[in-house]
Chain A
Amino acid sequence: DSGVTQTPKHLITATGQRVTLRCSPRSGDLSVYWYQQSLDQGLQFLIQYYNGEERAKGNILERFSAQQFPDLHSELNLSSLELGDSALYFCASSVATGVTTEAFFGQGTRLTVV
């Protein structure tokens, strides 16, 4: 158990809908990262927050957004869902943001868009 908690574990929704994925980082970790894992794109970095502020952005679609709350949990919002958004979404956390800081991954949320 990495200490990073993601909910829900599975989510099935229809195209055009909006969903929210939740992540609770390890105790004491200030930084949260979101990744998408799909069969054709592999593991892709989406976005990072550090202590409530956006720190880095990757290949995140405009339909997607995220935030980190004062209690350090984070939410990833996916809207106007398309079939191609079906994927595993992982959250990771780390205590700091340095290059060599180890990030711990949660178990992921499997999103299926039908």
Chain B
Amino acid sequence: GESVGLHLPTLSVQEGDNSIINCAYSNSASDYFIWYKQESGKGPQFIIDIRSNMDKRQGQRVTVLLNKTVKHLSLQIAATQPGDSAVYFCAENMGGGKLIFGQGTELSVKP
């Protein structure tokens, strides 16, 4: 069935370093992907999205890369800050707001 999974459950980085969080998806027909950030005690928060007709999209300090050949997504965070510590989810939008979430990667930023 459909699934979106993350390669690493935890990631620890030094403040100021770049972070890369990976995600694999299984539905080759998927058209739209979103990265969410979830801080402790809060709901998921939209970070950045990408359509399947793009390979790369940049936001403020974040970049999402999409490799449709191997069905892989990555989220790159530049100059990681303590405030970036959270769980990051990739999600596949199946249409109508139905999101298929990956299992999440916990990012820990060491000062």
Lowest 8 A-B CB distances belong to which pairs? Answer: A105-B43, A43-B101, A56-B96, A99-B32, A42-B103, A105-B44, A97-B96, A33-B97
What string of 1s and 0s marks CB contacts (under 8 Å) between B48-82 and chain A? 01010000000000000000000000000000000
A-B contact pairs, 26 of them (CB 8 A): A2-B43, A4-B43, A31-B97, A33-B97, A33-B98, A43-B99, A43-B101, A43-B104, A55-B96, A55-B97, A56-B95, A56-B96, A92-B43, A97-B96, A97-B97, A99-B96, A100-B32, A101-B97, A102-B49, A103-B46, A103-B97, A104-B46, A105-B45, A106-B43, A107-B41, A107-B43
A94 on interface, CB distance cutoff 8 Å: yes
Say whether, besides A2-B43, A90-B43, A105-B45, A58 and B98 are in contact (CB < 8 Å).
Answer: yes
Closest to B100 in A: A45
On whether the beta carbons of A107 and B44 are closer than 8 Å, the reply is no
Q: Within B14-32, which residues are at the interface with A (CB < 8 Å)?
A: 31-32
List residues of chain A with CB within 8 A of the CB of B91.
Answer: 43
- B residues at A contact (CB < 8 Å): 31-32, 41-46, 49, 51, 89, 91, 93, 95-104
Closest to A1 in B: B42
Please classify how large the interface on chain A is, using the bins under 10, 10 to 19, 20 to 34, 35 or more. 20 to 34
Distance (whole angstroms) from the CB of A33 to the closest CB of chain B: 5
